[in-house]
Homo-oligomer: A and B are copies of this chain.
Amino acid sequence: MRQIKYFEAVNEAQYQSLEGDPSVLLMGLGVPGPTGIFGTTSGLVDKFGDNRVLDMPSSEQGMTGVALGMTIAGYRPVMIHMRVDFATLAMDQMVNQVAKWHFMYGGKMRAPMVFRMIIGRGWGQGPQHSQSLQAWFSHIPGFKVIMPTTAYDAKGMLISAIKDDAPVVVFEHRWLYGITGEVPEAPYEVELGKAAVMREGKDITIAATSYMALEALKAADDLATLGIQAEVIDIRSLVPLDTETIFRSVKKTGALIVADTGTTDFGVSAEIVSKVVERDCSILKKSPKRIGLPFCPSPTSPALAEDFFPRSVDISYAAADILGFERSRLPPEAETGGRWHDTPDPSFTGPY
């Protein structure tokens, strides 16, 4: 099948959505601009015009309200934030209005909106430009929250999100944009709310979000060299959360690692651990572990960022600790070519 990059898949999803439904439009700072939100919106303004692919003032709060207002006139806006950190300015509109819009008017209103939130890591983005706030939105009833990992899902889930009448918050990790996957040319939908088993295994379950799912696959490779078969689950959707798939896996393996791009404490992996143990804590033969950002703001210096953003080794070390073998038995971490791990792992080329 055709292989394209994640950013191209996102672009195509929007292209086809704009083409297929005149009520769809994109908006955000720089959306029609020359760098096209990391290429994800490049060319769209030329095809669909600046009435449907629109730039906006840097008024995140107000423009979220404007986008919500447009739904009243029948539009389905996709609002794009270059960094989720900027969406903190729009929290009132998102949380008090958008998320509750359908409920608080007794079902008479709908907010068919999509928020594309870009998250990332590395290269000195620093404290105000590299948060990963999926836990916030997942905590607010009224949103769907998704984190596509593969190019295939990036396209299919975004098309589904745009068609969905609920407001859907999509988290896209910048480091996924350059990664390839098999993506059909025709439009297609991927159902929201289902996790995907990326790799089967019987010894330990690694459930992960977004870029961390690729780190998990790499960890699974490393574990396989020791004969350990890790099952890797791409969580894909936080709300609705596919507890069933994760639970079934843990029931089989008896061991669980949850890896997320955000801060661990009070983060999404806590919910996943809780959902599992609440249902039946006896299926866990070993204590579970969570991998995520440590409890400090994101440092800029590469020397500090190095230990701040977890990598596959952190996952395989956690597996070693859970399964009770020496970390030193794991293969050594590959050279990156550079001194730091603050650019995308060059071995993650895809296709995934």
- Measured CB to CB, the residues of A under 8 A from B are 61, 85, 88-89, 91-92, 95-96, 99-100, 103-104, 126-128, 131, 133, 135-136, 138-142, 238-239, 262-263, 265-271, 273-274, 277-282, 284, 286-290, 295-297, 299
Closest chain B CB from A27 CB (angstroms): 19
A100 contact from B128, B239, B262, B286, Cβ within 8 A: B128
By Cβ-Cβ distance, the 5 closest A-B pairs, closest first, are: A270-B270, A139-B266, A91-B91, A270-B274, A104-B127
Apart from A100-B127, A100-B128, A273-B273: 11 A-B pairs, beta carbons within 8 A: A88-B91, A96-B127, A100-B297, A104-B126, A135-B135, A136-B139, A273-B277, A274-B274, A278-B288, A278-B290, A280-B287
Q: Once the chains are docked, how many angstroms separate the CA of A59 from the CA of B270?
A: 34
Q: Once the chains are docked, how many angstroms separate the CA of A177 from the CA of B104?
A: 28
Provide the residues of chain B in CB contact with A290, threshold 8 Å: 274, 278
Q: Once the chains are docked, how many angstroms separate the CA of A139 from the CA of B299?
A: 17
User: How many copies altogether?
Assistant: 2
On whether the beta carbons of B96 and A128 are closer than 8 Å, the reply is yes
Q: Once the chains are docked, how many angstroms separate the CA of A219 from the CA of B286?
A: 32
Provide the residues of chain B in CB contact with A92, threshold 8 Å: 88-89, 91
Provide the residues of chain B in CB contact with A96, threshold 8 Å: 85, 88, 127-128
Closest chain B CB from A301 CB (angstroms): 10
On whether the beta carbons of B271 and A281 are closer than 8 Å, the reply is no
On whether the beta carbons of B103 and A267 are closer than 8 Å, the reply is no
Provide the residues of chain B in CB contact with A91, threshold 8 Å: 88-89, 91-92
On whether the beta carbons of A95 and B100 are closer than 8 Å, the reply is no
Provide the residues of chain B in CB contact with A139, threshold 8 Å: 133, 135-136, 262-263, 265-267
Nearest B residue to A133 by beta-carbon distance?
A: B139
On whether the beta carbons of B296 and A286 are closer than 8 Å, the reply is no
On whether the beta carbons of B266 and A268 are closer than 8 Å, the reply is yes
Closest chain B CB from A155 CB (angstroms): 27
Q: Can you list 24 A-B contacts (CB < 8 A)?
A: A88-B92, A88-B95, A91-B92, A95-B131, A96-B128, A99-B297, A100-B128, A100-B297, A103-B127, A103-B296, A139-B262, A140-B263, A141-B297, A142-B297, A266-B270, A270-B270, A273-B277, A274-B274, A274-B288, A277-B277, A277-B288, A278-B288, A278-B289, A281-B281
